[in-house]
Amino acid sequence: MYYVYILHSSAADKYYIGFTSSLEGRLEAHNHPQNKGWSKRYQPWTLVYHESYVTKQNAMDREKKLKGLKSKNRIRELISKFTS
């Protein structure tokens, strides 16, 4: 199983969109003190949305589509539908 996920940094009001085969492991990696990537600057991250896919390619395609939203408002709309 593969997952497309959206993380939120409430401290910086930033979103991070990615895909993984382990939601728990990926969230832990983003919040790890030794993380050296872009997401380190905006820790801590909270998982606010996810979708599951059977194939890696489907998850990658959906991630690309979500990254194309490029609008916090559109991302928030998607999240609100998920949490409603």
Return the higher-pLDDT residue of 79 and 52: 52
pLDDT for res 16? 94
- d(CA 12, CA 27) in angstroms, rounded, equals 17
The domain locations on the chain are 2-83
Return the percent helix, strand and coil in the chain, to nearest 5: 45, 25, 25
Return the higher-pLDDT residue of 38 and 16: 16
Q: What is the pTM of this model?
A: 0.89
The CATH superfamily holding the domain 2-83 is GIY-YIG endonuclease (3.40.1440.10)
